[in-house]
């Protein structure tokens, strides 16, 4: 009897409650990724140190380093001068980047944290 009731409840539940929604793929499903890295533990203070990480600081050596992207370098310069994290996220959003994940890494030695905002943008065709 228990199994019959469980089967009836599962059959009656709408399908969308069991499936996780994912964003529709952009043209071809190809994205470029970068991360806004914020060192500090407050969203609104000027003490935050912000920079973009898009793979340009590769440890493999100069011959295999990732080429410098002029648009992202300019955005990195603007972000390093930004007043706060919200300004930086809005600036990147204006450039077409969308935030897909946020990770915070605490640093117990210094009592602060590093937060990484993973951003993506559809590749130009």
- d(C-alpha 69, C-alpha 87), whole Å: 21
Q: 121 and 97 in contact (C-beta within 8 Å)?
A: yes
For residue 26, the model assigns a pLDDT of 47
The enclosing H or E element of 90 equals helix 85-94
Of 43, 66, 64, nearest in space to 54 by CA: 66
Mean per-residue pLDDT pooled into runs of 10, the chain (125 residues): 58 50 57 88 63 72 61 87 86 93 81 86 80
- Residue 47: other Cβ atoms inside 10 A: 11
DSSP-assigned beta bridge partners for residue 102: 117
The pTM assigned to this predicted structure is 0.64
For residue 93, the model assigns a pLDDT of 94
For residue 122, the model assigns a pLDDT of 92
In the chain, domain spans: 30-122
């Amino acid at each position: 009897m228990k199994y019959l009731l469980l089967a009836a409840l599962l059959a009656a539940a709408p399908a969308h409650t069991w499936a996780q929604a994912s964003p529709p793929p952009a043209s071809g499903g190809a994205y470029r990724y970068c991360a806004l890295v914020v060192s500090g533990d407050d969203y609104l203070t000027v003490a935050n140190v912000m920079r973009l990480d898009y793979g340009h600081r590769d440890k493999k050596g100069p011959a295999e380093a990732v080429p410098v992207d002029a648009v992202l370098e300019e955005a990195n310069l603007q972000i390093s001068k930004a007043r706060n994290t919200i300004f930086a996220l809005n600036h990147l959003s204006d450039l077409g980047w969308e935030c897909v994940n946020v990770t915070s890494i605490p640093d117990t030695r210094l009592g602060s944290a590093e937060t990484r905002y993973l951003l993506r943008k559809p590749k130009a065709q």
